[in-house]
Amino acid sequence: MRTYELLSIIKPNIDSEEFDKVVAKIEETIATLEGKVLSTDKMGRKKLSYDIKDYRDGYFVVFNFEMEPAQVAKFNRQLRLNENVLRIMLLETTATVKA
């Protein structure tokens, strides 16, 4: 398994309960694809440098997780199908994160 870091920007117009559901859904998707969530950092609502889909700000969340490389494409596709996720950046990391 390899270690990955996912930075995601979630729509700002959802309430806190819906926001928690979106975060839980991403963590559930990682687990479904035989991955393991190492940490989740909810960074809060931040202003964007430029508008994304007519939004000026969004909720930033960073996930550190382990997953088999063969499953990453499926995971990326699932994220792009989630209508509450505005933008993602998925990176492979070399350092291990301790939970």
pLDDT tens readout for residues 45-85: 999 999 999 999 999 999 999 999 999 999 999 999 999 99
Q: Residue 94: which pLDDT band, with cuts at 50, 70 and 90?
A: confident
Q: Cα–Cα–Cα angle for 14, 17, 23, nearest 5°?
A: 85
Pick the CATH number of 2-93 from 3.30.2350.10, 3.20.20.150, 3.30.70.60, 3.40.50.1980: 3.30.70.60
The DSSP bridge partners found for residue 89 are 7
**Residue range 16-32: mean pLDDT, rounded:** 94
Contacts of 62 (CB under 8 A, 6+ apart): 5, 6, 7, 8, 40, 41, 43
| Dihedral sign from CA coordinates of 84, 80, 42, 34 | positive
CB atoms within 10 A of CB 60: 17
